[in-house]
Structure 1
């Protein structure tokens, strides 16, 4: 009993900060102030907290302000309250809930005879439907609001509706109408001499022309906007133009100008704080394309990796924001329940002390609390398991889509080879097709199993070898394929380059080692094993054929005389931090060793 009482005291001490924090979250609102002042103070406080991504208190403040407006039957402030709650859900990405609150706000604005805001709600609702990829509903609401604005004489609202129609038509690739609406918006702001909005719209027109493939017009729009941004010292607009103009310059092979813009954008991105990752993702993608066009594939790969890292940071930041909101909601509910539980406990203790049975009540409350905590832990574990299953499903779907895209690329390469006359060109395209299919097999393996980050190397190498065997017109009966795979599972980051290396080596064997005119039965051996000796620990890959053997001096040629396949093998081996050797041993033997530091990474 004494131990249980001590644990109860510890529980009270643990819950005390929750009470204090809950009290601190209440806004400092003057109780004697009029309702209109209270509502305004709550809205101002919610706006400041929303800017710092404190979503849970923002929602609570907005609901409190709405409750005051409803109690005072102030229809116009009720409408604004619904609109602000809709904006809150829109900022957190919950567009379906945002639509429901915009509809409530629209009804309230109509009841308060605020025709202007009633019409504007159509545009907000259309925006949310567009973000949900419900293009039909989005267009219906925007066009209806635009018609009402014209009938009611609110011509100043038309550019807002045109801008949303531009987004809708651009997303559905109806570029002709999108350009027509863009010209209307530009004409309107030019007439009003609202140059900030005019050149902002012109910048968006540059992005639209880029999507249409009209890179010259896109560049012209960006440069006109840049001239205005420099004139007005608008660093914000300059930064986004430098981030976007390479989209128009790179297809025109204006690589130096594109690179200069990228470096300026990188400097500007460092000032953007949490928003910089999306900018860095675009800039690093531009730099990767620039160096790829220049033929510097090492630098292109470097910037492509940076692009992937920045893109992942954007994804993680978005998910973290959503998780933070969910966690804040969960913690708020938990604190409220803890406060209610604590109040009930105190009441029970008081009554039981006077009744003389306080110890029994403490024990009962403690057991109930422990059971409640256990139930909450079980519930949390269940949610975590569900989220893990959802992430696994998303990863499998991602690998499935990548596999389908690679299959499309392979089919296009095959179709292209059928239209070529030059035998060397045909072989080059088919080799490229085989490389794409080698990568496609990896992703096929990943989405067909429960493991989404590791690859079964035995099954993958068997599929790869048999696929190439059929491609070079060999059957399993007339071919000796030896697979000695000790490491059956490898991370996809290692499996992908290893698969490409094996693809190149097997392709070379089929092209140069085997001759159907000879009676010698072709043999191909693939070993993948773990080295355990201290002198040379790590992973070793061996690929050997029984052909006449390769000329080592021919392999060691560098520069333009070296084939792309050789350079690809060397580059992928370096990427794996490994070193390889080529031996003439009963044919050709390729041996690649990767140290333990790479496998641990």
Structure 2
């Protein structure tokens, strides 16, 4: 129940966050959470909006966070709010404005005594200067950050600074220093066992070694990164590696391997669409160079044309992004001019928000009530299931006890037969014993399976026939027993009388149908099937031997001369609401038909 309530509260908060995001403001301060909670929520909302390229509402969120932090007079939170605005300007391509925000952030951290965030600010500022192609200023800020981090023991910041220096030196073709910084970064992440960052850095190292002309070393770096990507099943990393590794393979004249990597990169980019035109430009450039080296200049020209087309697409995308950034800045200025006009609208929307929150609370209560009702129903069903399981166990125990009792009766009859002298009396007792064992076998089947009301007729009739065959001393390899049981499952109320009928018929067959002296191989066929004939639907049982055949008139005689077995078969057939017939057909054929009404019951 607690988990369900927590989920409902989480959903409610998410919906509230969505509403707040749409309105670019939080509920009134007097009824809201503490400033620390509000600021974390606002920063998170702003970052999410930036990731979604919703720059205008994102700036409103960050400005609101700055206002709250300034009102609370918490210098560190003010510094973070400045940095969020700097990151926003950086995302829109306004690096000059971003530097101003980062400088404000750094000064605020210095006043607050937050040395770690003060040191980190150097990297943000250096990055922006590098993007403005002011390499000298960028290097100065990065080197100052490194010195500060080393002075105060912030070793975890050093890889970030070294990564910026790698970018600066690589762009300036100062490969020796870039390679040295790369080794430092790799050593740090290897020591920390941060393998994701390590292999990402190793991938960039492969590109650096390629630019340095160290193609073997570059290939090794790419292949190590590929091994990691394959083990982690990172298809995106694999795609970028396949796109870049031909830079190292082609100069080594490993053209076939380079072409395979290109094909994999093409398959990946067609599947995902990630950096499509940039990847296609690189891959077609590789393929053009491969076919040029092979001397197939026609194919090389084809790939070169594709490369140029992809290059144009990349150029257009870059220009469109720059236009979008300029349009965003223009829209921001336009939006800022309308802030005052939106004040009254925001107040009205705030009231709507709280009305919506009230509705969500009511909905939460309603859902909680429904869950409570659901729990009660589930518990009731669980109780019923437990009672059903207990009943099943009791039924199994009952069948077990009945089977044991019938076994005792069978044993008593067997003992009694051993004390008799009259052969007819002995045979009569043994036949009674077999009838008891036929019933006992059904109860044994019922307690040995999960089904306590149905009997597997194939298994039951097989066991019954084989036990009678052993009782009358007929080896299995000298006897043809044919069981055609199409109807697998039957209710115990039908299985019991059917089993007794089969027991009587099979017993009669063993007693009268077979003559061991004539050399004829005995045969017994038992069929149990359902009839789909519309004129006579139902179930049919057939038992047939290959003996001399029975005298039908003798069977049909009634009165005291009729044997108990015949009367039992007739009584059981009547109990099953069926009718039977006895035929002399290559032996004796007994056919019992039960109507479909009885079968369905």
1:54 Cα deviation after fit: 1.9
Contact 2:20 2:26 (C-alpha < 8 Å) held by counterparts: no
* 1:119 paired to 2:119: yes
Listed one character per residue, the Cα deviations across residues 106-148 of structure 1 (whole Å, up to 9, x for unaligned) are 1111122211111011122112222222222111111111111
What does residue 61 of structure 2 align with? 61
Among residues 20, 24, 27, which one is paired with 1:30 in the alignment? 27
What does residue 254 of structure 2 align with? 254
1:94 Cα deviation after fit: 2.0
1:340 Cα deviation after fit: 7.2
Report SS of the residue matched to 2:275: helix
What does residue 156 of structure 1 align with? 156
Report SS of the residue matched to 2:326: helix
What does residue 545 of structure 1 align with? none
Query: Matched residues in 1 for 2:70 and 2:327: separation?
Result: 29
1:260 Cα deviation after fit: 0.9
Contact 2:86 2:102 (C-alpha < 8 Å) held by counterparts: yes
Contact 2:93 2:325 (C-alpha < 8 Å) held by counterparts: no
Query: Matched residues in 2 for 1:170 and 1:95: separation?
Result: 21
Query: Matched residues in 2 for 1:282 and 1:253: separation?
Result: 18
What does residue 238 of structure 1 align with? 238
Contact 2:285 2:303 (C-alpha < 8 Å) held by counterparts: yes
Alignment of 1:375-386 (within 5 A): none
What does residue 320 of structure 1 align with? 320
What does residue 265 of structure 1 align with? 265
Report SS of the residue matched to 1:270: helix
Contact 2:202 2:221 (C-alpha < 8 Å) held by counterparts: yes
What does residue 210 of structure 1 align with? 210
Report SS of the residue matched to 1:84: helix
Contact 1:53 1:321 (C-alpha < 8 Å) held by counterparts: no
- The range that moved more, 32-41 or 197-206, is 32-41
Query: Matched residues in 2 for 1:309 and 1:343: separation?
Result: 50
Alignment of 1:436-447 (within 5 A): none
Contact 2:25 2:61 (C-alpha < 8 Å) held by counterparts: no
* 1:97 paired to 2:97: yes
- The range that moved more, 219-228 or 288-297, is 288-297
* 1:220 paired to 2:220: yes
Report SS of the residue matched to 1:29: coil
Aligned in 2, Cα 1:192/1:38: closer, same or farther, shift over 3 Å?
closer
Aligned in 2, Cα 1:91/1:333: closer, same or farther, shift over 3 Å?
closer
Q: Which runs of 5+ in 1 are unaligned?
A: 1-21, 345-601
Contact 1:29 1:41 (C-alpha < 8 Å) held by counterparts: no
Report SS of the residue matched to 1:30: coil
* 1:132 paired to 2:129: no
1:300 Cα deviation after fit: 2.2
1:156 Cα deviation after fit: 1.6
Listed one character per residue, the Cα deviations across residues 394-438 of structure 1 (whole Å, up to 9, x for unaligned) are xxxxxxxxxxxxxxxxxxxxxxxxxxxxxxxxxxxxxxxxxxxxx
What does residue 453 of structure 1 align with? none
Contact 1:27 1:42 (C-alpha < 8 Å) held by counterparts: no
Query: Matched residues in 1 for 2:171 and 2:148: separation?
Result: 25
1:295 Cα deviation after fit: 2.4
Aligned in 2, Cα 1:335/1:111: closer, same or farther, shift over 3 Å?
closer
Query: Matched residues in 1 for 2:149 and 2:118: separation?
Result: 10
Contact 2:215 2:252 (C-alpha < 8 Å) held by counterparts: yes
1:327 Cα deviation after fit: 2.9
Contact 1:56 1:325 (C-alpha < 8 Å) held by counterparts: no
Alignment of 1:337-352 (within 5 A): none
What does residue 83 of structure 1 align with? 83
1:79 Cα deviation after fit: 0.9
Listed one character per residue, the Cα deviations across residues 233-267 of structure 1 (whole Å, up to 9, x for unaligned) are 22222111111101111111211111111111122
Aligned in 2, Cα 1:211/1:89: closer, same or farther, shift over 3 Å?
same
What does residue 3 of structure 1 align with? none
Report SS of the residue matched to 1:277: helix
1:333 Cα deviation after fit: 5.0
Query: Matched residues in 1 for 2:335 and 2:106: separation?
Result: 34
What does residue 50 of structure 1 align with? 50
Query: Matched residues in 2 for 1:89 and 1:50: separation?
Result: 10
Aligned in 2, Cα 1:138/1:37: closer, same or farther, shift over 3 Å?
same
Query: Matched residues in 1 for 2:336 and 2:176: separation?
Result: 55
Query: Matched residues in 1 for 2:307 and 2:231: separation?
Result: 31
Alignment of 1:10-21 (within 5 A): none
Query: Matched residues in 2 for 1:119 and 1:342: separation?
Result: 39
Query: Matched residues in 2 for 1:332 and 1:99: separation?
Result: 18
Aligned in 2, Cα 1:110/1:52: closer, same or farther, shift over 3 Å?
same
1:272 Cα deviation after fit: 4.3
Q: Which runs of 5+ in 2 are unaligned?
A: 1-18, 345-601
1:274 Cα deviation after fit: 5.9
1:308 Cα deviation after fit: 2.4
1:331 Cα deviation after fit: 4.3
Aligned in 2, Cα 1:26/1:333: closer, same or farther, shift over 3 Å?
farther
Larger radius of gyration: 2
Query: Matched residues in 2 for 1:111 and 1:74: separation?
Result: 11
What does residue 283 of structure 1 align with? 283
Aligned in 2, Cα 1:24/1:120: closer, same or farther, shift over 3 Å?
closer
What does residue 305 of structure 1 align with? 305
Query: Matched residues in 1 for 2:26 and 2:56: separation?
Result: 18
Aligned in 2, Cα 1:177/1:241: closer, same or farther, shift over 3 Å?
same
Listed one character per residue, the Cα deviations across residues 80-111 of structure 1 (whole Å, up to 9, x for unaligned) are 11111111222222222211111111111112
RMSD after superposition:
2.6
What does residue 590 of structure 1 align with? none
Query: Matched residues in 2 for 1:167 and 1:29: separation?
Result: 40
Report SS of the residue matched to 2:26: coil
Aligned in 2, Cα 1:330/1:201: closer, same or farther, shift over 3 Å?
closer
Query: Matched residues in 2 for 1:339 and 1:74: separation?
Result: 26
1:332 Cα deviation after fit: 5.5
